[in-house]
Structure 1
Amino acid sequence: MNLLKHALLLTAGIGFIFSPATCKEHREKVVTMETLLEEMVSVEELSRFPAPCYTCHQESSYDRRSVSPGDPAWFANDDGFGIVRVDTTGGRIEKVMFDQTGPGVITRIWITTLDKRGTWRFYFDGSAEPGWIIPAYDLMRINIPSLGPGLLQPHTSYEPEGKGGNTLFLPIPYAKGCKITFEDELGVNPTPKYYGINYRKYPENTAIETFSAEVVKRAEKKIAGVDNLLLNPVPSKNGKVISDTKVLAAADSLTLELPAGENAVYEIRLSVNLQDSAGFGQLMREIIFCAQFDGKQTVWAPLSDYSGGGMGAPYVKSWYLSSDGKGNIVSRWLMPYQKSGILKLMNISSASIGVKMEANVSPLAWDGRSLYFHCSWRQETGIPVHKYDEPENCTEWNFATIEGKGVYMGDLLSLFNHAPRWYGEGDEKIWVDGDTFPSHFGTGTEDYYNSSWAPVVPFHTPFGGAPRADLDSSHGYNAFFRTRNLDGIPFREKFKFDIEMIGWQRGYSDYATTIYWYGDFNARAIGTSGIEEAARKLVPVPEDPANYKIPESIEFEALKPTRKSTSLRLEKQNAADSWDGKWSGAAHLLAPNGKAGDFVEFEFDNLKDGKYKMVVYATQANDYGTISFSVNNSPANISFDGYSSNIKHSKPINLGNFSPVMQKRLN
């Protein structure tokens, strides 16, 4: 137990259930931490229809007013307070976030909040005592030494003592059930607790070993090994390498015919030599990657999008896909086939382009669980984006629809945001087979992509990231990318993925979605796009509003205060030019959580002797208060009312003329 001292408490109980199989795909084997970790990095197993035949679901903090399509509350957006119920246990008030009975596995936990103080408790197999305790709303406090950044990732906004969250991919199996609760720390004003928990539900007869301290200790090396492999992927087999090089004229193609028989492509390396670097993004869009297996085309996507980068073909680093952002791409999606396979690069541009394709192919037996690899692409321009506080006007956009049998394994959202403010407030809603309510109902676009708090910054993890984020305001080009290992979603008849088109203001966006999935021979994606959309000219990159500067200004958001009230939280906030006015550097300093009498103090160094005219440029909004100023420890006799019915730039606030003084701490 010393391994998990202080930050992690685990009971030692191990539960098993053995009974005759009732599912035709079921095989008599025990699901353990080790088997799950092996599955996580087995491209062969991840490409097959699952056995035991589990289903995948998600519990989240979505707004519980969302009950049915067609009702205005279907687009309710208060996503930080949704829970299953509240329990009183041993005098504690515990908010129940997850409560499932029967055998299952948690495959992903995503969380974020403003204030992490409190206690997570995990109850396994109906026990009244928690088997796992985390002393904060922070998975970074789990304290499993072998767990690294491959399986546990802080979000780009993460602050250990402040806001921000993280995502955990370590599988948590349970034999009879699992309940997860959170208790706010006494005396702390509760803040929204956002979460998304993906899990598998297995048939009742499935034998599963429950998560415990002994299991974690036993699996230490396996956890560390998988974590390292996720960060440093390599082909699981080195087979026959087939390659070809060609200069593609307009409408020309490079084709690789694969060895006949039961085989699989384990890795593909693609290189594009573009003489015109200025047109790189457009030309990478106009090279189409195609694949045909056993006589059926299953892959068709612009190379820029297939790579996981999207418009502009930026840098990508993940478990399945890598790209250097210069035209060199590595694909590690397994592509099995029974009899024949063809890979193709097709040039739909008017330029001549040098390309090279290399495929690593090895024998792989085909059986009743085998599936074909699919990659489908669709694009639509001018999609309306609605404001988050107008749910009666909101709409959904169909991200993907698949008919047939298969497993959904991930996606890329590449877009141009025509509005100069955040576009991604909308939740994902995934319907599988006969769902009467989405089995996956999310809390926001960035949350689905393993980040939080509307980040506009590139990041990369084994499970995807944000390959492109041009402007702090989110205006212009953006891309989010997510692939699934243990959290892949099996479907037998139909898979439907809708996303709410909700942002911080009205506008519109151009969306291009690339989906990666496995399916049987008859499975097909609905509503895909073709050459006409791939050849559509990319929109010019907009001017960066951060380039606007007030002459001789000092940016408060870039300064560290010398003192402040304890309750104040300081943060840099994007000030998009959709507001009324322009902000120097397109940002301002925000100081939330303030109360009457609070203060913040700054010092300006390296000033020469003489008098300086001091002018403050501020922001006004409907939740801002009244502030006063002091300079050199003396009141400036100016009071500023920060209230305005809309967000706008204030008029210049002239504090007067002042001379520098010897540094003296203000009281």
Structure 2
Amino acid sequence: MFIAGLCAATLSGLAMHTVSIESLLLEMVDRDERARFPEPAFTCKQASSYDRASVAKDQPGWFGNKDRSWFLRVERDRGRREFVMMDAEGPGAIVRFWMTFSGEAGGRGTLRIYIDESPVPVAEGRAFDILSGSLVTGAPLAASVSEATIYRRRGHNLYFPIPYAKRCKVTYESEGVHEDDYGAYRVHEPGTEAVYYSINYRTYAPSVKVVSYSEAELKKNKGIIASTLKQLTAGGRTLSAESAKLRLDASLRPGESKTFEVNNAGAIQHLAMRLQAENKEQALRSTVLEIAFDGEKTVWVPVGDFFGIGYKQIYTNTWYTTADEDGLMQSYWIMPFAKNCTITLSNLGSQPVSVTDASASIKDWTWDDRSMHFGTTWRQYTKILAGPYEQAVDLGYASLEGKGVYVGDGLVLFNTGYRWWGEGDEKIYVDGEKFPSHFGTGTEDYYGYAWCRSETFTDHPFIAQPLGTGNFCPGYSVNVRMRALDGIPFSNSLQFDMELFPWLYSRLNYAPTAFWYMLPGGKNLSARDLVGAREPVALDRADIYPPVLDENLGVEAENLTWISTPAGSFTYQSHDTLPLSGGVQLFWKDAEVGYRASFGFNSNIEGVRSLTGVFTTARDHGVADIYLNGKKVFGKLDLGSDEPGIKTVKAGPVNLLKGRNLIEIELVRHAKGAINKSNFAIDRLSFE
């Protein structure tokens, strides 16, 4: 291909002398260049609509969630009122631009990009037309995701570089945005909108020459733009003809490892393998890939997480990793080494695993003072408990010391709640920053989509959601972001935290993988999570909330397994003020008289026991009969109250079965003042 040949020959010289649309597009598709520290050097920062109430970790508002319609200032010129989203001194370049909107007028305003003090914008139009339409470029560098999502609920992503020599200012003009109350959510008012945005931009040293974005530059580079779009769409996976192939096939007994060695300089340019095991899901998590370059062990990651699918064999297709449903997984990260390399496959699980169709393609590499070792950080936060606002927590993706570039990450999780899990923002601290230079607007926004949508998207070069079934209900979700020009260089350190901010206070299995390069001698401060890799993978909500009696012969209501709710709906719900046992209750919403909701739990013992139920009361809670295994145990239990509270009620002797037990709740009378619907909630059941 034209670009593939041109990259190796000209990119280094272009980067040293001039930054332009041409040089940036060449850099974008040059995997070799990603493995070298940037030249010319730059910083990467972010402008976003994050909630300005977040000012410090130790102050209220750190987990604020009004991540919308925040701007630097308002400018009035020529009768226009423009909200300034970004204003950066150059030389530099915008390298990623994401937006979404809400409200009746969402996205109808005018987006403008001004360069080098010119009063005339180089790009002007509806945000959708610039970011994911054809006003600047075509797909995949301008794209909305997922295409299966209704248009107004998509994330809109522009990856086309916009270089500038002196300054860049980005504004949004809309009559639907209020300037007197940034962050307000007024989209219920006709004609209003909320604006969510995130802009990643580079800044170079003043001595670096930059050719600014312009219509003339677009025309001049028409050929290379078309070639880049074609290459990114096709995958650009042509391997070096002189490469050597190292076979990695192995049969691994539980606890066994097998190591493969390369004893000369080179670079891994391609890794491929399949895993075969009786429990394929567990094999993908408990089979670990470890790579040492020149004696430095920098890669340690479960195989499925490395290839961007986690522990389910699903399809994905990005610039750096691919996987198909037949089991073949492939990586195209360039991983150079000056002297030697060892690749180790370890089976940390309890079953035999076969690694087949496995190989590493090694190509020649001339090591220089810019060459970096590739690395990963992985861990699972197992059964971690979090909730909204002050119940949210910051979780570490990566903690690095040294000089390098952060180049991407993936997230694999199992959600147990019936609400969105990913309201939390990324917070990235570079070289000891006290406040993060990257502060986002939500986990789904970081990964390029929007509005918690569960629809998949897998054929974009830099972002993917191979599966999103766990976004709104108990289930499994995978998100991936591979950084292209928006990689983040650091000279001394990088700390990446992501808020875990689910809308329902609940437990999750949450496993991020970070990808990075560092010069030799850099340190990954995160410990290897052997326990997490051995942990049984969650395939059902019951794997995290087991529906069994605990050692005190009790069961939290959030552990009850849902069977049916013929009227209304149910959820596992947290409460802001009530002291719930375990922090969560089972909540039957909009119940109707005469209908029964059914739930189950298991017991390892049987016999007659005394039952105590802990319930919550509220004005809209009704009167119910409760049955255990077909026998009424609570009759006309009235949970109505003027104020929310806790109500503990003892029943008579009940017959507890060994194995499966059935709880049925039948609404027999509505709450006072209610006509058709009432609510009902249980916190805990205990058998003494």
Interval of TM-score (by shorter of Structure 1 and Structure 2): 0.7 to 0.9
* From 271, 274, 298, the counterpart of 2:274: 271
What's 2:8 paired with? Answer: none
Q: Secondary structure at the match of 2:282?
A: helix
CA contact (8 A) 1:243 1:359 kept: yes
What's 1:205 paired with? Answer: 207
Q: 1:541 to 1:367 in 2, by over 3 A?
A: same
State the superposition RMSD in angstroms: 3.1
CA distance in 2, matches of 1:180, 1:268: 41
Shift in Å at residue 151 of structure 1? 4.4
CA contact (8 A) 2:141 2:157 kept: no
* From 125, 132, 135, the counterpart of 2:126: 135
What's 2:440 paired with? Answer: 442
What's 1:401 paired with? Answer: 399
CA contact (8 A) 2:137 2:160 kept: no
* From 148, 151, 173, the counterpart of 1:183: 173
What's 1:97 paired with? Answer: 85
What's 1:380 paired with? Answer: 381
CA contact (8 A) 1:457 1:472 kept: no
CA distance in 1, matches of 2:31, 2:675: 52
What's 2:72 paired with? Answer: 84
CA distance in 1, matches of 2:154, 2:23: 32
CA distance in 1, matches of 2:675, 2:35: 52
Task: Report whether the alignment pairs 1:117 with 2:108.
Answer: yes
CA contact (8 A) 1:118 1:182 kept: yes
CA contact (8 A) 1:135 1:141 kept: no
CA distance in 1, matches of 2:281, 2:375: 24
Q: 1:73 to 1:472 in 2, by over 3 A?
A: closer
Q: Secondary structure at the match of 1:503?
A: coil
Structure 1: 4+ residue segments shifted above 6 A: none
Shift in Å at residue 142 of structure 1? 4.5
Q: Secondary structure at the match of 2:240?
A: coil
Task: Report whether the alignment pairs 1:31 with 2:29.
Answer: no
Q: Secondary structure at the match of 1:74?
A: coil
Q: Secondary structure at the match of 2:351?
A: coil
What's 1:521 paired with? Answer: 520
Shift in Å at residue 308 of structure 1? 0.9
CA distance in 2, matches of 1:404, 1:526: 11
What's 2:296 paired with? Answer: 296
Q: 1:215 to 1:548 in 2, by over 3 A?
A: farther
Q: Secondary structure at the match of 2:520?
A: coil
* From 234, 241, 244, the counterpart of 2:245: 241
Q: For residues 354-389 of structure 1, what are the alpha-carbon distances to aligned partners after superposition, in whole Å with 9 as ceiling and x for unaligned?
A: 21321111111111111001012112223222224x
More strand per residue: 2
Shift in Å at residue 189 of structure 1? 2.7
Shift in Å at residue 326 of structure 1? 4.1
Q: 1:467 to 1:157 in 2, by over 3 A?
A: closer
* From 150, 157, 174, the counterpart of 1:167: 157
CA contact (8 A) 1:63 1:81 kept: no
Q: Secondary structure at the match of 2:464?
A: strand
Q: 1:577 to 1:108 in 2, by over 3 A?
A: farther
What's 2:321 paired with? Answer: 321
Q: 1:181 to 1:217 in 2, by over 3 A?
A: same
What's 1:635 paired with? Answer: none
CA distance in 2, matches of 1:62, 1:477: 27
Deviates more, 1:166-175 or 1:228-237: 228-237
Q: For residues 271-291 of structure 1, what are the alpha-carbon distances to aligned partners after superposition, in whole Å with 9 as ceiling and x for unaligned?
A: 2233x2xx1101111211111
Q: 1:292 to 1:197 in 2, by over 3 A?
A: same
Q: 1:67 to 1:100 in 2, by over 3 A?
A: same
Q: Secondary structure at the match of 1:509?
A: strand
CA contact (8 A) 1:317 1:464 kept: no
CA contact (8 A) 2:176 2:192 kept: no
Q: 1:242 to 1:137 in 2, by over 3 A?
A: closer
What's 1:616 paired with? Answer: none
Q: For residues 248-302 of structure 1, what are the alpha-carbon distances to aligned partners after superposition, in whole Å with 9 as ceiling and x for unaligned?
A: 22333333222512x111111112233x2xx110111121111111112111111
Q: Secondary structure at the match of 1:283?
A: helix
Q: For residues 521-560 of structure 1, what are the alpha-carbon distances to aligned partners after superposition, in whole Å with 9 as ceiling and x for unaligned?
A: 22122233332221111123249x9996859x9xxxxxxx
Shift in Å at residue 150 of structure 1? 4.8
CA contact (8 A) 1:173 1:211 kept: yes
CA contact (8 A) 1:156 1:451 kept: no
Q: 1:186 to 1:284 in 2, by over 3 A?
A: closer
Q: Secondary structure at the match of 2:387?
A: strand
Q: For residues 62-86 of structure 1, what are the alpha-carbon distances to aligned partners after superposition, in whole Å with 9 as ceiling and x for unaligned?
A: 1112222211122211111111110
What's 1:341 paired with? Answer: 341
Deviates more, 1:281-290 or 1:394-403: 394-403
Shift in Å at residue 418 of structure 1? 2.5
CA distance in 2, matches of 1:323, 1:385: 31
CA distance in 2, matches of 1:474, 1:228: 38
Q: For residues 496-515 of structure 1, what are the alpha-carbon distances to aligned partners after superposition, in whole Å with 9 as ceiling and x for unaligned?
A: 11122212122222211111
CA distance in 2, matches of 1:300, 1:475: 29
What's 2:182 paired with? Answer: none
Task: Report whether the alignment pairs 1:53 with 2:41.
Answer: yes
Which segments of 5 or more consecutive residues in structure 2 lack a partner in the other structure?
1-12, 178-189, 543-560, 569-584, 596-670, 680-688
What's 1:531 paired with? Answer: 530
CA contact (8 A) 1:456 1:474 kept: no
CA contact (8 A) 1:119 1:137 kept: no
What's 1:257 paired with? Answer: 261
CA contact (8 A) 1:155 1:450 kept: no
CA distance in 2, matches of 1:42, 1:293: 21
Q: 1:68 to 1:549 in 2, by over 3 A?
A: closer
Q: Secondary structure at the match of 2:414?
A: strand
Percent of pairs identical after alignment?
35
Q: 1:457 to 1:347 in 2, by over 3 A?
A: same
Q: Secondary structure at the match of 1:344?
A: strand
For 1:122, the aligned partner's letter is I
Shift in Å at residue 172 of structure 1? 0.6
- Aligned residue runs from structure 1 range 517-666, under 5 A: 517-542=516-541, 580=589, 650=677
CA distance in 2, matches of 1:218, 1:158: 36
- Aligned residue runs from structure 1 range 340-489, under 5 A: 340-356=340-356, 357-388=358-389, 391=390, 393-460=391-458, 461-471=460-470, 473-489=472-488
Q: Secondary structure at the match of 1:44?
A: helix
CA distance in 1, matches of 2:519, 2:333: 16
Q: Secondary structure at the match of 1:75?
A: coil
Q: 1:386 to 1:349 in 2, by over 3 A?
A: closer
Shift in Å at residue 139 of structure 1? 3.3
CA distance in 1, matches of 2:363, 2:587: 54
User: How many equivalent pairs are there?
Assistant: 538
* From 97, 101, 108, the counterpart of 2:96: 108
CA contact (8 A) 1:420 1:577 kept: no
Q: 1:228 to 1:257 in 2, by over 3 A?
A: same
* From 42, 59, 79, the counterpart of 1:71: 59
Shift in Å at residue 223 of structure 1? 1.8
CA distance in 2, matches of 1:138, 1:385: 38
What's 1:5 paired with? Answer: none
Shift in Å at residue 470 of structure 1? 2.5
Deviates more, 1:92-101 or 1:213-222: 213-222
What's 1:282 paired with? Answer: 282
CA distance in 1, matches of 2:84, 2:426: 22
CA contact (8 A) 1:26 1:51 kept: no
CA distance in 2, matches of 1:648, 1:436: 55
For 2:200, the aligned partner's letter is N
CA distance in 1, matches of 2:216, 2:340: 47
Q: Secondary structure at the match of 2:226?
A: helix
